[in-house]
Amino acid sequence: GQQVMQIPQYQHVQEGEDFTTYCNSSTTLSNIQWYKQRPGGHPVFLIQLVKSGEVKKQKRLTFQFGEAKKNSSLHITATQTTDVGTYFCAGVLISGTYKYIFGTGTRLKVLA
Amino acid sequence: EAGVTQSPTHLIKTRGQQATLRCSPISGHTSVYWYQQALGLGLQFLLWYDEGEERNRGNFPPRFSGRQFPNYSSELNVNALELEDSALYLCASSLNGGGSYNEQFFGPGTRLTVL
């Protein structure tokens, strides 16, 4: 079935190291959104990408939407302990009917 | 501006019972979404309501149902509860139209426990 997979599922990094999570869809996406969920919290919107090949930056976070609009990535430079949480991508699949799917998520732990 | 609110915070039921969860969207938002998040797992899309109508539903059995009221608040009903229905149920709202290009704002969730 149509899925949006994220890799890795888990990532432990030392504080100061970089981190990247990848989001891959089996179907072309009309857009991609990224959310962060802190432990015990609810998802919070980070950013939305719409255009093919689009790159957006938020301080230490860099978001990229693939040329084919089937994949996306979130890169964090010099992680901090406040980056801990699960990062989800979410997108609308271009498949005839509206289908909004969240990715499987990447859980990030930052070791001080 | 008040965020998305959900009630109750916690709900404990036994197998076979029915559960009703409530959500109030951010003022001005007409779309409401429901998600199920089992412990340690990702978000599973349940239902999407916009302007009082069900626009889409995820791969859940019919005993998961809901509705949206004229004031855009929403209710999720789960009938014939099963143990595996235990999860955090999150509600989100967005501005009108489809959510495709609008960010969703999430509520704190209702923790449903089925014994």
pLDDT of res. B101: 57
pLDDT tens per residue across span A8-64: 999 999 999 999 999 999 889 988 999 999 998 999 999 999 999 999 999 999 999
Beta carbons within 8 Å of B111's beta carbon, 6+ residues apart:
B9, B10, B11, B87, B88, B89
Question: How far is it, in rounded angstroms, from Cα A94 to Cα A26?
Answer: 11
Question: How far is it, in rounded angstroms, from Cα A86 to Cα B89?
Answer: 17
- Within 6-35 of A, beta carbons closer than 8 Å to B belong to 30-31, 33
- Quote the percentage of chain B above a pLDDT of 90: 74
Q: Is residue B72 part of a domain?
A: yes
Residue at token pair 């979130």: A74
pLDDT of res. B42: 82
Considering only residues B15 and A40, tell me which one the structure prediction assigns the higher pLDDT. B15
pLDDT over 90 at B37, yes or no: yes
Work out how many domains chain A is built from and give that number: 1
Q: Which of A21, A38, A42, A44 to mutate to test the interface with B (most CBs of B within 10 A)?
A: A42
Q: Tell me the residue range of the domain where B30 lies.
A: 5-97
pLDDT range class, residue A83, cuts 50, 70, 90 = very high
pLDDT of res. A2: 56
Report the DSSP pairing between strands A106-111 and A10-14. parallel
CB contact under 8 A, A98 and B56: yes
Q: Is residue B58 part of a domain?
A: yes
- Give the CATH number, domain containing residue A27: 2.60.40.10
Work out how many domains chain B is built from and give that number: 1
- Give the CATH number, domain containing residue B82: 2.60.40.10
Q: Specify whether the CB–CB gap between B76 and B47 falls below 8 A.
A: yes
Q: What one-character DSSP code corresponds to residue A82?
A: G
pLDDT over 70 at B97, yes or no: no
Q: Tell me the residue range of the domain where A58 lies.
A: 4-111
Q: Is residue B74 part of a domain?
A: yes
Q: In 3D, which of B44, B59, B47 has the Cα closest to residue B99?
A: B47
Q: What are phi and psi of A95, to 5 degrees?
A: -145, 30
Q: Burial level of A112, CB count in 10 A (0-12/13-18/19+)?
A: exposed
Q: Is residue B62 part of a domain?
A: yes
pLDDT of res. A94: 74
Distance from CA of B106 to the nearest CA of A (A): 6
| Residues in chain B closer than 8 A to A99 (CB atoms) | 56
